[in-house]
Amino acid sequence: MNRKDDHIAYAHAQTVANNDFDLIRFKPHGLPETNKALVNYATEFLGNKVATPIYINAMTGGSKQAQTINGKLSALASHFGLPMALGSYSSAYQDASLINTYDVINAHDGFLKLANVGADKPLVVAKTAVQKLNADGLQIHINSVQELIMPEGERVFKGWSDNIKAVHDALNVPVMVKEVGFGMSTQTFKTLKNLGIVYIDVSGRGGTNFASIENKRRISTYQAFEQWGLSTVESLLQAEEIEGIHLYASGGIRHAGDVVKALALGAEAVGLSKFFLTLAMEDDLPTMIEKTAHLLDEIKTIMCALGVDNVKALNKHHLIIPKHLWL
């Protein structure tokens, strides 16, 4: 099996019972004065207006199975107008015959499409990815811990900041920097902001665990990393003092409750990978649409119960947050 198919198989098999979102509760509102039919969960995504507060986060490309998944997910994205990020473009950059496994996204329209590259990649890779896929934006992933555990991964991390700045300065589409499930600290937010990055997806601990996935691909495992990282909740709280960034949340978003909690913690929109991977692997398109419609309906219902009729009105006062999550 190739690495892309390994990642799909291990991520699909992983189960997450609990995460830090479970430690947060909603503050009920006895007199919400809302009308569910008028609750609007539209938001902004990389400076564009979007109809829903969720997006399909980066996963795959580069194998036959990846092509099937990207095909189904792009049909779903098109149905609801969900922004969708593709997986890392590096395999198609090395082997042009793999481009179809990503470009299948362009069979559908009516949603924002993001290409994805690693921070280890120079400008030329990022530019090629955006051009070849006709992407509306680019995600750059920072995944040093995953690389270190990955048997064939990077061991030298010098130059990542320079690459990020070069890509950000040169591209004429918005650039989002994201983690891959280990979260971000105040220090990371400050560094990214100094590089000019304003769109940041914290992608924290609590969902897909790439330490565990890469350990499964090793002969002798690095156990210390199984518990590595800041949770998505902790990461969002770390960003509280940082002004001038647009915050996005992903990592362990399992259901509508997690989505609304992440929005109330300051995220402009919320990304799901594992949730959509499961739909693409297990369901046909009508069922994928039905389950996504249910997720969106529950988001609206929670907002109605909280007494808010738009995403911007959600804030930390709608939540009961245990003190220990503020680090």
Nearer to ligand FNR, 138 or 314 (CB): 138
Separation of alpha carbons 206 and 22, rounded Å: 10
- Three-class secondary structure of residue 21 per DSSP: helix
Residue, CB closest to ligand FNR:
207
List the x/- string, 10-29, binding to ligand FNR by CB under 6 A.
-x------------------
Q: Residue 57 interacts with ligand FNR (CB under 6 A)?
A: yes
Identify which of residues 52 and 139 has a Cβ nearer to ligand FNR in the complex.
Answer: 139
| Residue 178 interacting with ligand FNR (CB under 6 A) | yes
Q: Is 273 in the site for ligand FNR (CB under 6 A)?
A: yes
Distance in angstroms (rounded) separating the CA atoms of residues 195 and 143 = 17
The answer to the question of residue 83 lying near ligand FNR (CB under 6 A) is no
Could you say whether residue 87 binds ligand FNR (CB under 6 A)?
yes
Side-chain-side CA neighbours of residue 221 (13 Å): 12
Check binding of 59 to ligand FNR (CB under 6 A).
Answer: yes
Choose one: 48-56, 155-163, 175-183, 233-241; the region binding ligand FNR (CB under 6 A).
175-183
Least distance from C-beta 124 to ligand FNR, angstroms?
Answer: 19
Minimum CB–partner distance for residue 179 and ligand FNR (Å): 6
Separation between Cα atoms, residue 272 and residue 129, nearest integer Å: 22
In the bound state with ligand FNR, the residue whose beta carbon lies nearer, of 74 and 203, is 203
Return the structure tokens found at 122: 């120079």
Cβ-based nearer residue to ligand FNR, 129 or 304? 129
For position 149 contacting ligand FNR by CB under 6 A, the verdict is no
Which CB atom, from 130 or from 180, has the smaller least distance to ligand FNR? 180
| C-alpha closest to that of 228 among 179, 161, 186, 278 | 179
Alpha carbons 44 and 57: distance in angstroms, whole number: 16
CA–CA gap between residue 301 and residue 273 (Å, rounded): 23
Whether residue 61 contacts residue 133, with contact meaning beta carbons closer than 8 Å, is answered with no
| Residue type, position 144, single letter | S
146 near ligand FNR, judged by CB under 6 A: no
Stretch in the footprint of ligand FNR (CB under 6 A) among 125-133, 200-208, 256-264, 283-291: 200-208
Q: How far is the C-alpha of 44 from the C-alpha of 22, rounded, in Å?
A: 26
Among 41, 251, 258, 266, binds ligand FNR (CB under 6 A): 251
According to DSSP, residue 298 is labeled H
Q: How far is the CB of 182 from ligand FNR (least distance, A)?
A: 9
**List 65, 88, 101, 163, residue binding ligand FNR (CB under 6 A):** 88
Does position 188 bind ligand FNR by CB under 6 A? no
Collapsing DSSP to helix, strand or coil, 252 comes out as: coil
Q: Cα separation of 248 and 57, whole Å?
A: 11
Distance between CA atoms of 26 and 46, rounded to whole angstroms? 28
The torsion angles phi and psi of 304, rounded to 5 degrees, stand at -60, -45
- Exactly one of 63, 67, 91, 208 binds ligand FNR (CB under 6 A); which one? 208
Q: Spell 261-291 as b/e; 16+ CB within 10 A means b.
A: bbbbbbbbbbbbbbbbbebbeeeeeeebbeb
Q: Does 277 bind ligand FNR (CB under 6 A)?
A: yes
Q: Name the site residues for ligand FNR (rule: CB under 6 A).
A: 7-8, 11, 57-60, 87-88, 116, 139, 141, 178, 180-181, 203, 207-208, 250-253, 272-274, 277
